[in-house]
């Protein structure tokens, strides 16, 4: 059963910011990494509950993507009744914990 993956405005802004920050227009490796992140996010359509709950809020989950110092957290919510995944926020894994106001 495939879930619909919905990217919120906040997450779209996060993607756009990240695209600029890592220099995808100047680096083939950065572009591959960015595309891999997008693919990982879209993979949530299958088994979205495979990722753990966030420490900040047990109703939210997070997908970790990257290695070592370049790990990013994709914060999302699974809406079971609607078979939908809402991607709420993308942030660097080393950032402080998020506040409720940051993820809607």
| Residue range of the domain that includes 69 | 4-95
Number of domains in the chain: 1
28, part of any domain: yes
100, part of any domain: no
The pLDDT, as a whole number, for residue 19 is: 86
The pLDDT, as a whole number, for residue 23 is: 85
Q: What is the CATH number of the domain that holds 24?
A: 3.30.2310.20
Rounded Cα distance between 98 and 6, Å, is 20
Rg of the chain (C-alpha set): 13
104, part of any domain: no
The pLDDT, as a whole number, for residue 67 is: 87
Tokens of 50: 């495979």
Divide the 104 residues of the chain into consecutive groups of 10 and give the mean pLDDT of each group: 94 91 86 93 96 94 90 95 96 67 61
**Which residue's structure tokens are 């079971």?**
80
Helix axes 9-21, 28-42, angle to 10 degrees: 160
């Amino acid at each position: 059963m495939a879930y619909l993956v919905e990217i919120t405005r906040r997450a779209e802004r996060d993607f756009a910011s990240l695209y600029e920050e890592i220099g995808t227009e100047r680096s083939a490796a950065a572009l591959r990494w960015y595309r891999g992140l997008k693919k990982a996010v879209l993979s949530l359509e299958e088994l979205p509950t495979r990722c753990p709950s966030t420490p900040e809020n047990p109703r939210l989950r997070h997908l970790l993507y990257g290695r070592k110092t370049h790990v990013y957290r994709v914060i999302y919510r699974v809406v079971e009744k609607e078979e939908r995944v809402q991607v709420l926020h993308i942030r660097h894994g080393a950032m402080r914990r998020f506040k409720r106001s940051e993820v809607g």
